[in-house]
Amino acid sequence: MRVVLITGISGSGKSIALNVLEDDGFYCVDNLPVRFLPDVIESLRVAGHDRVAVSIDARSGDLVTELRSMLSALAGVGHDVKVVFLNAHTDTLVQRYSETRRRHPLTVGRSGDAQAKTLVEAIEREREMMSVLENLGVALDTTGLHPNVLRQWVRDVVGAERAAMTLLFQSFAYKRGVPLDADLLFDARCLPNPYYTSELRPLTGLDAPVAEFLREIPSVQRFVEHIAAYLHAWLPFYIQENRSYLTVAIGCTGGQHRSVYVSEELARRFRRTEHVLVRHRSLSQRALAG
């Protein structure tokens, strides 16, 4: 198994690091108590997982010192173990906690502590506790770092490949409203409507006669070509922003002919390079109503 341990100072970006690995196909466990690490890794191995990322912070207390031997034992049985230690300047951490209004995990004393700590005291206490792990792997200073840069650095350190973006083409009927989950929206109501051809009216864009009808119309083909060209040009920029899902909505009046055909045509073209899904909202609603 590939085992990645994400640790460091709270507020330095562990959640961002864990989320990007989860997006890239790792099975992720957040805030795992140290004592459970060997058993969890073995359970996930038996379950068939081959890439696991685990986040551990100072709430494990003195048991943090046992991590070194645990990681050595995991490597000794053949696991590929990497450690990413995230850190940031204290003033940066204070600013982040102020912006998010989150509470540092050590500001409330654990059992046996004399009293709760201020934020700065909690940060310094955590630095002291976690310092034993800083030289176990790659240390990243996230002070002033944009989240997208941190995501890419984590990928580089771990050697994770970006998961393919899921591209969803979704047809819909304007008369039922625009879907709220649309990232990009294109209006196919400007195209000739098969509804006004009597033999095509009861059919849908999934049926061969409707597809053949629309395929022979130059404006329909230009419409499809222009959307495809737009997506080819701009998908790389969406991917750079760490988007893992993009919904392209195609609408027509009834969501039965034009939008369905265009969605299917675009899906056919992009299946060669992307992970593609197709949904037809109006057709699904008609099926349920029937």
Q: Which two tokens stand for residue 51?
A: 């890439």
Structure tokens at 173: 């009927």
pLDDT in tens, the chain (290 residues): 899 999 989 899 999 999 999 988 899 999 888 889 999 999 999 999 999 999 988 776 666 778 888 888 998 899 999 989 999 899 998 998 888 787 787 776 554 454 557 888 888 888 888 887 877 888 888 988 888 888 888 888 888 766 667 899 999 999 988 988 899 999 999 999 999 999 999 999 999 999 999 999 999 999 999 999 999 999 988 877 767 789 999 999 999 999 999 999 999 999 988 889 999 988 876 655 55
Full-model pTM: 0.61
Q: What pLDDT is recorded for position 48?
A: 93
How big is the chain by its Cα radius of gyration, in Å? Answer: 26
Pairing, β 245-252 against β 166-173: parallel
* Amino acid 254: pLDDT: 94
Per the CB < 8 A criterion, the answer to whether 85 and 133 are in contact is yes
| CA end-to-end distance (rounded Å), the chain | 49
State residue 202's pLDDT score.
94
Look at the domain 2-158 and name its fold.
Rossmann fold (3.40.50)
Domain spans in the chain, listed from the N-terminal domain onward: 2-158, 166-289
Helices (H) and strands (E) in the chain, counts: 10, 9
Sequence-separated (6 or more) residues with CB below 8 Å from residue 111: none
